[in-house]
Amino acid sequence: MLTLLLIFWPLLATLVFFAIKPHEAKKWALAASLIELAISLVLVILFDTEDSTQFVINHPWIESLGIGFYIGIDGISLLLVLLTTVLTPLIILSSFKQQYENAPSFYGLVLFMEMALLGVFCALDGFLFYIFWEMALIPIYFICLRWGGVNRGPVTLKFFIYTLAGSLVMLIGLIYLYFQTPGDHTFNIQALYAAGQNLTVYEQGIIFWALFIAFAVKMPVFPFHTWQPDTYHTAPTAGTMLLSGIMLKMGIYGVIRWLIPVVPDGVESWGTTALTLSVIGIVYASFLAIIQKDLKRLVAYSSIAHVGLIAAGIFTLNRIGLQGAMIQMVSHGIVIVGLFYIIDIIIARTATQEIANLGGIRSSAPIFNSVFIIILLGSVALPLTSGFVGEFLLINAVFQYNFVSGAFAALTMIFGAVYMLRSFQMTMLGESNAATKSFLDIDRQEKWVLYPIVIMILLIGIYPAPLLKVSEVAVDDLLSIISNYHAGIRN
Amino acid sequence: MELIVSLIPLAPLSGFLLIALLNKKLRQWLVALMACSSVLFSFFLSVALFFSLGEDQQAFTFTGFDWITAGNFSVSFSLLVDPLSILMMLIITGVGFLIHVYSAGYMHGDEGYNRFFAYLNLFIFFMLILVMGSNYLLMFVGWEGVGLCSYLLIGFWFKNTEYNNAAKKAFIMNRIGDLGLILGVIMIFIHFGTLSYQEVFAKAPELMSGSETITIITILLFIGAIGKSAQIPLYTWLPDAMAGPTPVSALIHAATMVTAGIYMIARNNILYSLSPFTLDLIIVIGLATALVAATIAVAQNDIKKVLAYSTVSQLGLMFLALGLGAYTSGVFHMTTHAFFKALLFLGAGSVIHGMGGEQDIRNMGGLRKYLPITFATFLIGTLAISGIPPFAGFFSKDEILATAFAENKIVWALAFFASLLTAFYMFRLFFLTFSGTTRGKQEAGHHIHESPGTMTTPLIILAVLSAIGGFIGVPELLGGSHALNNFLAPVFEQSRALATPHLLSHTMELILIAVVVALTLVVIFLAYLLYVRSKKVPTPEGVTLNTFHRLIYNKYYVDETYEKIILKPLNFLYKALDALVERLLIDRAVNGAGKAVTWGGKTLRFVQTGNTGFYIFAMVISIIILLVVKTFV
């Protein structure tokens, strides 16, 4: 029941938006998302870290097609659920200064999106997963289209077609797997695993690409990334935060849950290719980040680099890499929401997001400056920030997998520092100018968003053990599926 | 005992937190008091630890909590107390405390006063973590942490773009080294299955001496040291780092942080002794750096720049010692260097303070009568660094030279030459600053004043240490027992078993000392003739005497070369990737596909009412296909 409540509470809460005044919408949305956070915390308390999938609900749904309403939560899901429920209130709170036209529908869409995201992370039925996956696209599509910036039409369309094309390929892959299940066919996850694992190596390779492209577009992995800088740039900040903080984790989660265990031989054949693409993406995106003139685009490219490292770590199929990927997903979400909020504050105060036109903000906004530095350190993975734990484990795993890839992946340490320090210097340091002279330091509402982010970055960096513990069993389960499969093949 | 160990880093950390969180509400004197006393507290605790370490217990670890655990990887917050870490703790907190006190005077009136002390305390914390960590990852925490503090303090006056660039350069060049270091750490984990020093060192002898693994590991770690300790080719950040306030140059960029590389290699002595190739590499790089930096220092006119290149050069000598397998000598020179280089930098700070911000030695001269205490202490520091007995530098440098002589005469000759250059440029600096008459602007002369007691007291204490500090390592030859050697013996026990000692006869050693000291005195006299007798003043900006002078005056054009062969091509690469791959290749392919879909969508639109968009359309189509297929299969 709790899982059901978790997923559908945000949807239920959207009903309220039909009855309230527009200016009250944000408060109601915040309240709803905080209640959702409380629900997820109850889950965390009840969660047994020694056990695998918990809080399972498995009801027949469309019985004739073998589709079940099958949901449950294991450690991997729980971390992402927690990330979603923690970030959503922060994202809502961060938009409080915006005067959105038609605010009730805006916040309704945000909550709808939260529901879909949670559904994705909990679904254990292939078809249900697909439904939630596509449902997550609808609200963000409208958010970008209605409340986005200049040029939002074409940009949103590109984003939409891109991800939709990816999803359609995935659907075909899922349906193919569905028909491989025995008897009356089913979308049940275990059945799909078994079906995929029974395929020939060649078929597994094809399914691998069908599913991987959908996930690769979402993350995005090089060279499927070109929708992302434009979209992040054009979307309203809350939308960008939802996309970068949570939604891109759908792609990574997809690889972990719906790709690796489904086609182990496909991963065996193509994993190195995917890993190499990811590593290329790290270096490539870091290079492009260095020459960006616009803050949002810079962070967008930095995100491609960071996510590339996560993807590479997953394809090592190494315990260290997968655990690193889990903690890095959490860290990336927190850090990037922080960075986009920093940028949002700068744009709101100075009306410019061109790096070259800023500078000297530090003089008049010391608290803002300190917060920016800590979030930046999380991004460049300084030890004792959340970014380091994941980045170290990931580089470790990739280096074990292949020295050359590891060395290239580790270049993110240098180039990450180059583009982050450069943008920090050009916005915050030096003499102030007309745009930044009367920059106000952050106010109470902004502190309520930024302080929790800063605290989480430091806390996870200093004591990541509880988070690592949460996903431990689930990661072991995943790896034992793979090793059982390979052991079975050999016998 | 555990409480003491954990309080040592926690005291400066809490100092940092208090100052940082209460920043605006605290008066300056209170901030200075809190910052200084927290470091002094750590110093006292370190002294207590020093005395608690006995024959029966030479090392112990204190484990706080598990930090990162994933799969078979596990690392904890665990501190190691042994002679080497205690020595480092004493230097860091002792010299650190003196520099804190000095800063209370030096930074007086600066609007960033509180912020300055917060950073300084944070630095002490990270530096202590660096040397106290009982595993490689914790060392890395400190390693990167001190890099951060260095970044924050070089760019302390953040309105100045040049300073900011220097800070960024330092951080990024350090990160290049850190990349090598972290890969080395990962290699260690891959091969030993652990990152704890004690476990790694216990297993290390299983590896074949000179095997590929150990060579790669030691080289990767050494790359980290090259970055942090400013060796060729990553040394150019250190002279630029002089943009920071002078106490920072003394503490971070002379006495402590830059010696982290020395500490790291000394800590890993067993690994390095197993890798003769890496040791040779260290000799080459250390020696080359010592020479290059010393020659550059001869032609610099900024008082802090001279000292900066001097630091680079002295670090090169320390690496030379390590490369020769003389770990104790390297650590010994690091210790004495911490005393006299901190003294020289603080003295320079006192001069700059007294001259109202002037840093060009061409505008100084005759400061002896205005700054008597600074003059006297600076003289002691200069004698110490030049290696005049019985000052501290003499003993440690002599040890390195003697080892080099026993190993290889060419190495010795080059190292000796670097040492002579040191004496020359230091006395050049000293004479130009303190002797003769003041050359600066007229009005400056009236305001020149000696620094307040908070600044001169640390100078005096450091001068005493620079004068007598060498006695912790008096060799048997000169009637001592080399206390430092005995103290550190347990740390280097393993590697000593592998070493083949080259023993010089006592007569030979005495001859060497005599030659070295005599020639050094000659060089000093030369400097005296040039800069006191003939009152020579270095050429004005842009004027050079000959090709070689132009070369060293312009620091061998290294920065310019890096700009040309690394930064420019990289920049070109970024732009080329953006224009060709991102826009031309990928984006065009995507847009092409997009257009095809749009066209397809428009063409197929007659099936639908058309206004619900692609999404619903696709959903419905997919479901229909599904149903159809289901019906027929």
Q: How confident is the model at residue B158 (pLDDT cuts 50, 70, 90)?
A: very high
Whether residue B601 is predicted with pLDDT greater than 70 in this model: the reply is: no
Cα dist. A382→A374, A465, B144 in Å?
Answer: 9, 18, 7
Give residues with Cβ within 8 angstroms of A272, minimum separation 6. Answer: A315, A402
Handedness of CA B400, B401, B406, B409 (dihedral sign): positive
Q: Between these two residues, B485 and B622, which has the higher pLDDT value? A: B485
Q: Between these two residues, B384 and B449, which has the higher pLDDT value? A: B384
Q: How confident is the model at residue B424 (pLDDT cuts 50, 70, 90)?
A: very high
Nearest residue to A147 (alpha-carbon basis) of A234, A17, A88: A234
How many cross-chain Cβ pairs, A to B, lie less than 8 Å apart? Answer: 152
- Which chain A residue is nearest to residue B615, measuring alpha carbons? A164
Decide: B98 and B461 in contact? Cβ < 8 Å: yes
User: What is the distance between the alpha carbons of residues B403 and B380, in angstroms, rounded to a whole number?
Assistant: 26
Decide: A232 and A296 in contact? Cβ < 8 Å: yes
Decide: A271 and A315 in contact? Cβ < 8 Å: yes
Interface of A with B in 213-252 (CB under 8 A): 223, 225-227
Mean pLDDT across A9-33: 89
When CB atoms are compared, the residue of B141, B159, B598 closest to A431 is B159
Nearest residue to B415 (alpha-carbon basis) of B538, B318, B480: B318
Q: How confident is the model at residue B598 (pLDDT cuts 50, 70, 90)?
A: low
Query: B476: distance to nearest CA of chain A, Å?
Result: 44
Tens-digit pLDDT profile for residues B377-389: 999 999 999 999 8
Residue A219 tokens, joined: 């993350």
Contact yes or no for A465 and B145 at CB 8 A: no
* Range scoring the smallest mean pLDDT among A29-43, B10-24, B370-384, B539-553: B539-553
When CB atoms are compared, the residue of A226, A323, A430 closest to B587 is A226
User: What is the distance between the alpha carbons of residues B198 and B490, in angstroms, rounded to a whole number?
Assistant: 13
Contact yes or no for B137 and A465 at CB 8 A: no
Query: A35: distance to nearest CA of chain B, Å?
Result: 31
pLDDT in the model for residue B626? 62
Contact yes or no for B586 and A223 at CB 8 A: yes
Give the mean pLDDT of chain B: 88
Q: How confident is the model at residue B485 (pLDDT cuts 50, 70, 90)?
A: confident
Give the mean pLDDT of chain A: 92
Mean pLDDT across B238-253: 93
Whether residue B600 is predicted with pLDDT greater than 70 in this model: the reply is: no
* Range scoring the smallest mean pLDDT among A246-255, B35-44, B472-481, B615-624: B615-624
Q: Is A24 on the interface with B (CB under 8 A)?
A: no
Decide: B110 and B119 in contact? Cβ < 8 Å: no
pLDDT in the model for residue B1? 78
Contact yes or no for A179 and B619 at CB 8 A: no
User: What is the distance between the alpha carbons of residues B211 and B316, in angstroms, rounded to a whole number?
Assistant: 26
Q: Give the whole-number percent of chain B exceeding pLDDT 90.
A: 61
Mean pLDDT across A355-363: 89
Enter the ipTM: 0.93
Decide: A336 and A416 in contact? Cβ < 8 Å: no
pLDDT in the model for residue B609? 45
Query: B173: distance to nearest CA of chain A, Å?
Result: 8
Query: A54: distance to nearest CA of chain B, Å?
Result: 22
At B64 the three-state DSSP class reads: strand
Q: How confident is the model at residue A354 (pLDDT cuts 50, 70, 90)?
A: confident
Give contacts of B188 with chain A, Cβ < 8 Å.
none
Give contacts of B13 with chain A, Cβ < 8 Å.
none
- Which chain A residue is nearest to residue B628, measuring alpha carbons? A65
Tens-digit pLDDT profile for residues A184-196: 889 999 999 999 9
Tens-digit pLDDT profile for residues A327-352: 999 999 999 999 999 999 999 999 88
pLDDT in the model for residue B494? 85
Whether residue B425 is predicted with pLDDT greater than 80 in this model: the reply is: yes
Query: B479: distance to nearest CA of chain A, Å?
Result: 47
User: What is the distance between the alpha carbons of residues A261 and A4, in angstroms, rounded to a whole number?
Assistant: 25
Contact yes or no for A226 and B175 at CB 8 A: no
Contact yes or no for B68 and A468 at CB 8 A: yes
When CB atoms are compared, the residue of B67, B186, B577 closest to A284 is B577
Q: How confident is the model at residue A14 (pLDDT cuts 50, 70, 90)?
A: confident
Give contacts of A141 with chain B, Cβ < 8 Å.
615
Give contacts of A305 with chain B, Cβ < 8 Å.
none
Q: Name the pairing type of β-strands B60-70 and B73-81.
A: antiparallel
Question: Please, which residues bridge with residue B75 across strands?
Answer: B68
- Which chain A residue is nearest to residue B582, measuring alpha carbons? A226
Q: How confident is the model at residue A123 (pLDDT cuts 50, 70, 90)?
A: very high
Handedness of CA B299, B302, B303, B305 (dihedral sign): negative
Interface of A with B in 57-76 (CB under 8 A): 64-65
Q: What is the DSSP string of A79-110?
A: HHHHHHHHHHHHHHHHTTT---TTHHHHHHHH
Q: How confident is the model at residue A412 (pLDDT cuts 50, 70, 90)?
A: very high
When CB atoms are compared, the residue of A179, A291, A468 closest to B633 is A179
pLDDT in the model for residue B310? 95
- Which chain A residue is nearest to residue B185, measuring alpha carbons? A396
Range list of β-strands (E), B316-383:
none
Contact yes or no for A161 and B574 at CB 8 A: no
At B83 the three-state DSSP class reads: helix
pTM for the model stands at 0.93
Q: What is the DSSP string of B442-484?
A: HHHHHH--PPPHHHHHHHHHHHHHHHHGGGGG--GGGT---HH
User: What is the distance between the alpha carbons of residues B286 and B226, in angstroms, rounded to a whole number?
Assistant: 9
Contact yes or no for B68 and A465 at CB 8 A: yes
Maximum Cα interatomic distance, chain B, rounded to a whole number of Å: 108
List the single best residue of B126, B136, B152, B590 to mutate versus A (max A Cβ within 10 A).
B590
User: What is the distance between the alpha carbons of residues B473 and B470, in angstroms, rounded to a whole number?
Assistant: 6
What's CA B191's distance to the chain center, in Å?
28
Contact yes or no for B155 and A429 at CB 8 A: yes
Residue B55 tokens, joined: 């024959």
Q: Between these two residues, A171 and B594, which has the higher pLDDT value? A: A171
Q: Is A481 on the interface with B (CB under 8 A)?
A: no
Query: B425: distance to nearest CA of chain A, Å?
Result: 35
When CB atoms are compared, the residue of A162, A319, A389 closest to B68 is A389
pLDDT in the model for residue A102? 86
B13 phi, psi to nearest 5 deg: -65, -45
Contact yes or no for A399 and B614 at CB 8 A: no
Give contacts of A464 with chain B, Cβ < 8 Å.
67-68
Give contacts of B593 with chain A, Cβ < 8 Å.
165
List the single best residue of A230, A283, A425 to mutate versus B (max B Cβ within 10 A).
A425
Q: Which of B148-158 are b and which e, b meaning 16 or more Cβ less than 10 Å from the residue's Cβ?
A: bbbbbbbbbbb
List the single best residue of A138, A362, A429 to mutate versus B (max B Cβ within 10 A).
A429
Q: How confident is the model at residue B611 (pLDDT cuts 50, 70, 90)?
A: very low
User: Rg of chain B's alpha carbons, rounded to an integer?
Assistant: 29
Q: How confident is the model at residue B10 (pLDDT cuts 50, 70, 90)?
A: very high
User: What is the distance between the alpha carbons of residues A171 and A178, in angstroms, rounded to a whole number?
Assistant: 10
pLDDT in the model for residue A43? 94
Give residues with Cβ within 8 angstroms of B195, minimum separation 6. Answer: B75, B135, B136, B137, B185, B188, B189
User: What is the distance between the alpha carbons of residues B378 and B346, in angstroms, rounded to a whole number?
Assistant: 9
When CB atoms are compared, the residue of B145, B594, B619 closest to A383 is B145
Mean pLDDT across B252-261: 92
Q: Is A138 on the interface with B (CB under 8 A)?
A: yes
Residue B562 tokens, joined: 């890096």
Give contacts of A414 with chain B, Cβ < 8 Å.
172, 175-176, 179
User: What is the distance between the alpha carbons of residues A251 and A244, in angstroms, rounded to a whole number?
Assistant: 11
Decide: B413 and B305 in contact? Cβ < 8 Å: no
Q: Is A146 on the interface with B (CB under 8 A)?
A: no
Locus of tokens 């972290």: B182
pLDDT in the model for residue A296? 92
* Range scoring the smallest mean pLDDT among A122-131, A421-430, B441-450, B494-503: B441-450
pLDDT in the model for residue B625? 65
- Which chain B residue is nearest to residue A370, measuring alpha carbons? B20
pLDDT in the model for residue A159? 86
Residue B90 tokens, joined: 């004493």
Contact yes or no for A288 and B574 at CB 8 A: yes
- Which chain A residue is nearest to residue B173, measuring alpha carbons? A414
Calculate the CA dihedral of residues A430, B560, B428, B400 and round it to 10 degrees.
110
Decide: A349 and A357 in contact? Cβ < 8 Å: no
Query: A318: distance to nearest CA of chain B, Å?
Result: 8
- Which chain B residue is nearest to residue A425, measuring alpha carbons? B164
